[in-house]
Amino acid sequence: DTGVSQDPRHKITKRGQNVTFRCDPISEHNRLYWYRQTLGQGPEFLTYFQNEAQLEKSRLLSDRFSAERPKGSFSTLEIQRTEQGDSAMYLCASSLLSTGQGNYGYTFGSGTRLTVV
């Protein structure tokens, strides 16, 4: 396990198509986060999971977006009926929440760059 893996690295899709991204976190990490990053901006929070439970979703996550983490391991992010405004880098991060120690930071994947044409 060398870190957080994201697949695919790049995705070009036509407007209106559905796309799905996958994230494999560090195996012992119980928290998994999805972020979106557009040009000139920092990462913007979308949603996060603790184990298999989706605990919070940003208002950025419209009803066209859905995320799952069925067994508390890998996660998928699906975008339905893609729009040009969905073009961005989608980042996944994971972390380990240790009781009494707090959250020491996040390990990010390389991201999936989505281009909607």
Partner 1 sequence: AQRVTQPEKLLSVFKGAPVELKCNYSYSGSPELFWYVQYSRQRLQLLLRHISRESIKGFTADLNKGETSFHLKKPFAQEEDSAMYYCALRSGGSYIPTFGRGTSLIVHP
Nearest to 47 by CA among 84, 88, 93: 93
| Minimum distance of partner 1 from residue 45's CB (angstroms) | 5
Instruction: Please check whether residue 5 is in contact with residue 111, taking contact to mean a CB–CB distance below 8 angstroms.
Output: no
> According to the binding rule CB under 8 A, does residue 109 interact with partner 1?
yes
Which CB atom, from 25 or from 43, has the smaller least distance to partner 1? 43
Backbone angles phi, psi at 85, to 5 degrees: -70, -10
Length of the chain: 117
Q: Taking contact as CB under 8 A, which single stretch among the options 19-27, 66-74, 78-86, 96-104 is the one that binds partner 1? A: 96-104
Q: Annotate each residue in 37-56 with x if it binds partner 1 (CB under 8 A) or - if it does not, as one string.
A: ---xxxxxx--x-------x
> According to the binding rule CB under 8 A, does residue 25 interact with partner 1?
no
Which CB atom, from 3 or from 16, has the smaller least distance to partner 1? 3
Instruction: Please check whether residue 21 is in contact with residue 5, taking contact to mean a CB–CB distance below 8 angstroms.
Output: no
Instruction: Report the C-alpha gap between 70 and 40 in whole angstroms.
Output: 33
**Where does this chain bind partner 1 (CB under 8 A)?**
3-4, 31, 33, 40-45, 48, 56, 91, 95, 97, 102-111
